[in-house]
Structure 1
């Protein structure tokens, strides 16, 4: 990652919370990710994963969404809690 302490959303563990630092995707994918509410400054929590670890269920203020791991790779977050 570009700065110490930042990780990909894909690397987060279940139950972990983080704040989105930036979205690396551009074009249609970047727009789609931002349209889902995944914007810098938003807080997210990993609430679950499918049996094969894809997709991941995320909780944002007011709603829950599922995101594929290949999309989560483009989202860089700052963990709000230490990784266990």
Structure 2
């Protein structure tokens, strides 16, 4: 069983696959730049992700495993990524 969520909504231990990069909720020019940076970091469609850690204050930033590497993002940046969550 799976469901679709924004990566910013994920909780520690959630795993899944990136299904969309983009879908900006802020100014378009900034959104295009953010999308480019996320793609460069390996957040591409089909990449396996797992939320490893959440910050103490406001659950921000978050540490994410992307395939075989670890990346830290702010939740507002993670809102530009949509994932299909694996449910056990």
Q: TM-score, normalized by length of structure 2?
A: 0.82
Task: Tell me what 2:9 maps to.
Answer: 11
> Which aligned runs of 4 or more in structure 1 are off by greater than 4 angstroms?
none
Task: Tell me what 2:42 maps to.
Answer: 37
Unaligned runs of 5+ in 2: 25-30
Structure-2 separation of matches of 1:12 and 1:6:
10
- Correspondence for 1:70 among 52, 76, 82: 76
Unaligned runs of 5+ in 1: none
Structure-2 separation of matches of 1:60 and 1:27:
21
| Deviation per residue, 1:41-72 (Å, 9 max, x gap) | 00100000110111100012221110110100
How many aligned residue pairs are there?
79
Structure-1 separation of matches of 2:61 and 2:75:
6
